[in-house]
Amino acid sequence: MEREGKERLGVLGGMGPLASAQFMVRLTLLTPAERDQDHIPTVLWSDPRVPDRTKGRLEGAADPLPWLLAGIEGLRQAGCAAIAIPCNTAHGWYEPMQAAAGMPVLHIVDAAAADLRRIGIASGQIGVMGTAATLAMRLYQDRFARQGWECLVPDEAQMRALVSPAIAAVKANRVAEAYAPLAEVVASLAARGAQAVVLGCTEIPLGIQAGPQETLPVPVVDTIDALARASIGWWKG
């Protein structure tokens, strides 16, 4: 049963802006609805000024946490009752964000796990692509290991030459450039034994969708869609 009253879903976005805009599109399209009033009341906080999460974690650059907490407070004041964050790397600060929120913060890695089970993959080897910081923080590796999956990740050379430049291209609105390098990494992970590949940076699905996704050798889990499904599940109660 849908939640009643003035509850809203908060979306802590802007990391990057295109990914959070795509999240709003997918949240709308995946929601079973016949009319406007069937959709989820949502407040999008899209602040692209949040310092770079990868540089903050790996290079000692500006700390994004104060900006993340400011966004959470803004969503709290807007009357939100749960928060979705369509940025994987931001989940490296999940615990202090959850502690400050006073409401559920839906975890994107758990949403991806639910999507893997939805497509029938409950254990085994899974490829994970993401930012260098997401992989270095082991956001997927550790959380997935507790649920029965072993993660295969790109090697350093692939991250440097293929994944990181593709993510940067999407952030620079050069989305079409991202498909070929990302597809190459998906194929490499599949060749190593991955049954599916989790697109663990919300820019990566946008790059993959810019090309012939049906030619990829294994299924991919779009973490934008996974988080949207988790948000709909929260709303349905």
| Tens-place pLDDT, residues 152-199 | 999 999 999 999 999 999 999 999 999 999 999 999 999 999 999 999
Asked if 34 and 62 count as a contact pair (C-beta separation under 8 A), the reply is no
Are 173 and 133 contained in the same domain? yes
Whether 3 is covered by a domain: the verdict is no
| Eight-class DSSP state of 40 | P
Domain of residue 54 covers 8-107+225-236
Are 66 and 116 contained in the same domain? no
pLDDT, residue 33, reads 97
Whether the pLDDT of residue 2 is over 70: the answer is no
Are 76 and 170 contained in the same domain? no
Please state the rounded mean pLDDT for residues 19-46.
98
Report the percentage of the chain scoring pLDDT > 90.
97
What stretches of the chain adopt beta strand conformation (E)?
Answer: 8-13, 42-46, 80-84, 105-106, 124-129, 149-152, 197-199, 220-222
Are 152 and 118 contained in the same domain? yes
How many domains is the chain partitioned into structurally? 2
Whether 14 is covered by a domain: the verdict is yes
Cα angle 69-111-114, degrees, rounded to a multiple of 5:
160
Whether 113 is covered by a domain: the verdict is yes
Whether the pLDDT of residue 5 is over 70: the answer is no
- Report the CATH number at residue 102: 3.40.50.1860
Band the pLDDT of 231: cuts 50, 70, 90.
Answer: very high
pLDDT in tens, 67-121: 999 999 999 999 999 999 999 999 999 999 999 999 999 999 999 999 999 999 9
Please state the rounded mean pLDDT for residues 2-15.
83
Whether 2 is covered by a domain: the verdict is no
Structure tokens at 198: 């989790």
Please state the rounded mean pLDDT for residues 203-217.
97
Are 63 and 122 contained in the same domain? no
Are 114 and 214 contained in the same domain? yes
Whether 38 is covered by a domain: the verdict is yes
Whether 134 is covered by a domain: the verdict is yes
Please state the rounded mean pLDDT for residues 114-138.
98
pLDDT, residue 132, reads 97
Are 138 and 67 contained in the same domain? no
Structure tokens at 36: 């406007």
> In angstroms, rounded to a whole number, what is the distance separating the alpha carbons of residues 206 and 12?
18
Whether 85 is covered by a domain: the verdict is yes
Are 96 and 139 contained in the same domain? no
pLDDT, residue 4, reads 59
Please state the rounded mean pLDDT for residues 15-36.
98
Are 103 and 137 contained in the same domain? no
Are 73 and 42 contained in the same domain? yes
Whether the pLDDT of residue 8 is over 70: the answer is yes
pLDDT, residue 1, reads 44
Are 178 and 97 contained in the same domain? no
Please state the rounded mean pLDDT for residues 50-57.
96
Are 49 and 76 contained in the same domain? yes
Asked if 197 and 188 count as a contact pair (C-beta separation under 8 A), the reply is no
Please state the rounded mean pLDDT for residues 57-72.
97
Whether 137 is covered by a domain: the verdict is yes
Cα end-to-end span (Å), the chain:
6
Q: Which 3 state secondary structure label does DSSP give 215?
A: helix
